[in-house]
Copies of this chain bind each other. A is one copy, B any other.
Amino acid sequence: MSLAALQNSPGVAATTPGETAGFVFNHTMLRVKDATASLDFYTRVLGFRLIDLRHFPEAEFSLYFLALLPAGTQIPEGDDARRVWMAGIPGVLELTHNHGTENQDGPVYHNGNADPRGFGHICVSVPDIQAACKRFDELQVPYQKRLEDGRMKHLAFIKDPDGYWVEIISNTPIA
Contacts and interface: CB of A to CB of B under 8 A. Distances in A.
B1 A68 contact: no
B164 A25 contact: no
Interface in A146-175: 162, 164, 167, 169-173
A17 B44 contact: yes
Interface residues of A, number: 87
The dominant DSSP class at the A interface is mixed
A91 B94 contact: no
Contacts of A96: 120
A131 to B, nearest CB: 7
Contacts of A31: 112, 117-120
Nearest to A41: B11
